[in-house]
Structure 1
Amino acid sequence: MKTCYNLPLIMYANIILVVHITPLDTRPQQHLTNKKTAPQDDKKLLQRSKRNWMWNQFFLLEEYIGDTQYVGKLHTDHDKGEGNLKYILSGDGAGSVFVIDEKTGDIQAAKKLDREEKSVYVLRAKAIDRKTGRQVEPESEFIIKIHDINDNEPKFTKDVYSASVPEMSEVGTSVIQVTAIDADDPSYGNSARVVYSIVRGQPYFSVDPESGIVRTALPDMCRENREHYQVVIQAKDMGGQMGGLSGTTTVNITLTDVNDNPPRFPQSVYQFTTLESVTEGTEIGRIKAHDADTGKNADIEYHVIDGDADDLFEIITDKETQDGIISVKKLLDFESRRMYAFQVEATNAYIEPRFYDLGPFKDTAIVKLLLQDVDEAPIFSRPFYVFEVDEDAKEGSIVGQVTAQDPDSIKCPVTYSIDRNTNMESIFSINSGNGSIFLSKLLDREATPWQNITVTATETNDLKQSKFVEVHIKILDINDHAPEFAKYYDTFVCENAKSGQLIQTISAVDKDEPPRGHIFFFEMVPEFSINPNFTVLDNRDNTASILTKRNGYNRYTTSIYILPIIIFDNDYPVQSSTGTLTIRVCACDKKGNMQSCNSEAYLLPAGLSTGALVAILLCIIILLTLVVLYTALKRQRKKASLMISKDDVRDNVVTYNDEGGGEEDTQAFDIGTLRNPEAREENRFRRDIIPDTIFQIRRTVPLWENINIHDFIQRRIKENDTDTTAPPYDSLATYAYEGSDSVAESLSSLESVAIDENHDYHYLTDWGPQFKKLADMYGGEENE
């Protein structure tokens, strides 16, 4: 709010000082400069005219309380006081702010003036003759200035300032600069001269009176003790003297953190408990050191400083909570050690050098870890096993042994087994008591050079406590394969070949893998070593060369040569094989390029066309067909003569399933078994086999009187099963029972001397009463 002051009249008189108004010269410019046209009048034209304006002038006070404020008076010496002149005022505020008495020329301010709104007014005045309307004086411009009074208090640029300064700063450290602005005229008096002072905030801070810079006033201000301060700054005009106006602002100052505090553990000893079975990387506990600082100054790094525990445990920092996470680096064992104690250190990640003298920025604590025993699975002596066994090892040979034991303080017995999910159990077996692995089948290194099995060790008291281990078995090679040709060789020799010419280079392969590599030797079979046509030259590099031994070959005489070659290896025992090389004789050009190896075409008669050859071939095929048909018809006719009727059909089985013996093998089948049971009175010995002991001839009991067929067959089976004279190979035993007392007597063609074609055999269709007679005919004689 603006404040107005009434100045004494003496001051009013004093400020009516020199105000120089220069009337404008309205004469034409040419009168001032036209010297050539009127040289005689130059002195008259350039003569300065007398000023006729007369008035009083002064500065006006702003914020005048009265109704009007007298400004001044316009007056010209043409004014004789008769009222013939009229004064007119124009310019800034004329008619509204400033009014003029037309008759007297008095100017007054009709409104309260405010210098801060407008400090200067430019006005123009002129005097006019009322009767003629002519200006008696040229128009003149003058300025009215508003004199300032102290009616504005200083105002800060911000109502509230915010600033920060690091804690532990030195005295006089600049915090912030505040600024207050006074709207009064700084060029007049002390109305706009501002002085700063602290109303609240001492003794922590101070302010520079002239610049408004706020500074620290106390040393070693600690953020941990007090972090926020509120300082009130006053700005007063009039140079701070009494009667001046003032304004205030608030400065919120925050002490920022510096790393001046070390981390501290709230306790010196931490104790944790964990199972001995925890795996690597498992968290077993957390500890935390407290740091009074904030932000990055409170970041803590943890370390295990005990050398013995450094390999077993590690501690890392949780970035969010700054906790120290303790975890296991290696497996723990309750049986070997039941408690661990180690030292942990907490340090700041960053320390300001100026605080080194405050002491070490770290702290230590003791961590004790108690282990709890758990029932553990057996542990093998090795992480995996590798055994070797010879390829020719016999069944039952020992391959190796695995061992495992219970790691618990109370040792439990362990049993071993081979994983049943693989087929290795059929090749290997294991002693469940001591873990010895045996060979159950013969091995073949060429088929499988490595065998992998899984052995499981299980506690006998707790089948759930088991562990497995991989066992890798390498099959060691023995020289059990003979070398052979590396591939099939299509070899030929030119008819025009010369003696000693190379026609083929051969090499060999071997399935075995000797430790020193393959070494092969080649030579001709001794029976064919004296060969007039070809020879074999061993190149001593696992290859051999086939060379000719004479000049010229004739494919019409001999088109193909067979050359057997023996290949030896160099391992123990030495293995060898014979490979046969087929050498064709071909016609070649002069450069040795094969042209033709077909000699049959040249053996045909000359002049025989392709059509003739086709006709000859067709004739041969027809002749062969006729021969086959004739043979088939002949066999059919012969077979029909042996059969009395279509109903007389039976199979006569002769077995030739013995190696050697020739036609004697026909006795392997005892034809007597087809006879009537009444006719079978004795067993016959095989003529090709002489038994070591001569057995008494067994006579069969007659079975044709009121006997069941099923019982008869069962007795025949029992007799053959207990017969010690039976042949050692498979034979056919017939358990046929055809009955006795046939009315038709024998119908066998073997006993018929002649066949009566006129005899009526239709009664055979009656299979009721005539069945026995028909059976007697088939079983009455031995049909060979």
Structure 2
Amino acid sequence: MTKITFLLCLLALIVVATAFRRNVMQHREKRDAVLIRSKRRWVLSTIDIEENMEGPFPFKVTQMFNDKDTEHKIKFLIKGEGVTIEPFGLFTMDTITGDVFIHRAVDREVKQVYHLDFDVLDWNTGDVVDKTLSFNVEIHDKNDNPPKFSVSTVHGVFPENAKDGTVLATLQAHDNDLQNTPNSKFNMTLASQEPALPKIVLQTLTSSTSLYQLSLKGCFDYDKAKNYKVLVTAQDQGTPSLTSTATVTLDIGDSNTHPPIFTAAKYNTEVMEMEFNKEILRLGVTDKDTPNTPASRAVFTILKGNEGANYKIETDPKTNEGVLYVIKGKNFEKTEITVLEISVKNEEKLFKCVDGRPVTDFNPPPNTVKVEVKVIDVNDPPVFKKDVEFIYRPENTSPGDLLFTPEVKDEDTDVANIRYELVSETDPAKWVTVDPKSGKITTVKKMDRESTHVINDTYTVVIHAIDDGVPQGRGTCTVVIYLGDLNDNAPYLLTKTAVLCGNTVDRVNLETADIDKPPFAGPFSFSLMEEKELKDLWKFDPTTGHSTSLISLKRLPHGNYSIPLKIQDQQGLAAEEVFNVVVCDCEGENVCRGRQGWSSRLDSLGIGLIFTGILLLALLLLCCLRCENRNKTFQLIPLNLQDEGNQTLIKYNEEGGGSVNKPEPFTAGNAGGMKIALAPAEHMIDGFRKSERGSVRSPIRYSSKRFYEVYNDGDVMSIPHHSRSMVRTNTVRSGVSQLSRSYSSRSDKNLADHIDRRLFGLPEDLSDYPESLPCQYECEGNESDCESLAVSQLTDSNLGDNLDFLQDLGPKFNTLGGICQQSMTSKNVRL
């Protein structure tokens, strides 16, 4: 029992010890594994490359190691800048050995650091067996860049009189090698200067070592050197040291270092007395400075002798000479010789350099010369007291008015020998005359202020005073005559016609003017002439002013109206005008509807068209008359004209149309078929035809010879009647029934009574038809020399269709008969 227990305890102790050891071993394995990955995962060499290495290439720069090669067969992989990122192909790696190669030289100034990544892969599976290692490849600097000037060539232009210390050029350089190392630090030095004088120095501008200036020490001398060349060197402190150069060229401009000098020690000239605005002398100078520059251009000044301002001197820009002019005449009686002192200097201030330094207060006296001007005596012209005289006169003064008497003096001639002339061009209106001896100006005509020759109320004339010297002297005086205004012009209308648009306005405007000046002009007073009819139709509003409106008091018929009116100026001077107004309806502004312009007129073509229209109208009326009478049958009655020397054709009114009321045929004896309507004298009351009922039918004019209507088959014609009895024989259609002259007065009366009963006994409903009534026509006139057409003069042989009797009616009726027969023949009308 005890042994079993002991064995069990021992077994339990062994199990516990085994488990503890297993835990310890697992913990140690984990700890060892951690230490191996963090410390011995990669074995690296430092990668450090110098720029611009000479090779040969490819050049091994390092080798990579990894302890996973004990557990796996591995291979290496590289990526990053220079491999998979630009610049491509710079680095490569042996996948088996881990050797890293560079294939070409690199420039640090292009890129200073390259970033690379390395991986280790299982050779068989290609799986990554370790973490990626990243590191930088740094490029070491090498002194391969010399200092470089920002501008390698500098050009400058400076005047000869540049001051000491003037900055001539500024130079700046830069080194691309690693900053703050000897490879990038440099110094500038002045390597050479041509010519050597004046000295030019180089110094830093600020504390920076990259900015330098060239400065002048001394004075330039244009006569010795016109150009300078300076060479500046920049050198760094690297090993080996590198340098670069810059060239500065300077052009020197000439300054005024030489004063101008007159070419002669003294000058002489002469001028005619009272001569002016004329060149009298040229003064030459010499100057050693560059021509046509401020350093050489001369400036002349008259220092003495010109107190009267008679002369002036100017510089000729082409020749650089001094040109002396006389600008005001010199009188010989006062001065015979004038001495002028003239100086000359340059436009630019004179410059001087003493002991290599410019003198700032250098101001030497200018070069001077004397000029003697001799005045030669000549004839002096007369001189008026005033060159311009002003005179005032009212307009319209009477001729003979003395306007002006001149005052003249002459140094050389007696005033009595001076004659006067009027410059005719200055007297276009021919208003004045000049006395040749006294010079008095007198009017010969009335001077009108409103004349076109008067400008701004002034009339100007010019007179000359001429002496008897040799050559003749001539003085001039201008006389300005101011003309005062008088009320000698009545006001007037600017426009005397107007259009009154009756459909839009009731007034027209009147504009007035007066060529007189105030107070002889407006405002004006307006009034109508003393006619009551005008004042009932028109009025002015306002009645005073410079313009007014003419107002229509009532609506006027269309037409032209002439309105007399009166216009008075402020002083009462009146003018009577006629204002024409056209009253019409307007379509536009002051344009009558359907009305032509004022300038339209009837030409020859229009007159021809009017006459053509009249002829066409007459022809149309004739055609209407012929058409109306086409179906009527006329009985031509031969006339026995005893006295052909005093015959007259008289036009009567046109016959009326046929009656709509056809009375029954009247038969008396053998008169069947003939219808006769007579109006006896007893049925005429005060010149009017009366019916049986006493009503007035139609007015009639009659005399001792009356006319009656005869109806033949409905047609009407007029014949004369001398008594109550019927005196005419008509042929009826049968041609056998006749009324003869043997009828007694009783039978005539019965026949007339029967006709009256038949005519005036019509029914009430037909009594008012004018077609049924007799019509009166124009009479032949009282006491006609022509015998009436009586039935007694007509025979049966003249009636019928035979018209041969027309050939025996006489020369005048033959013409009328021929015209009628020709017209009827052309229209195929048979009688």
TM-score by length of 2: 0.41
TM-score by length of 1: 0.43
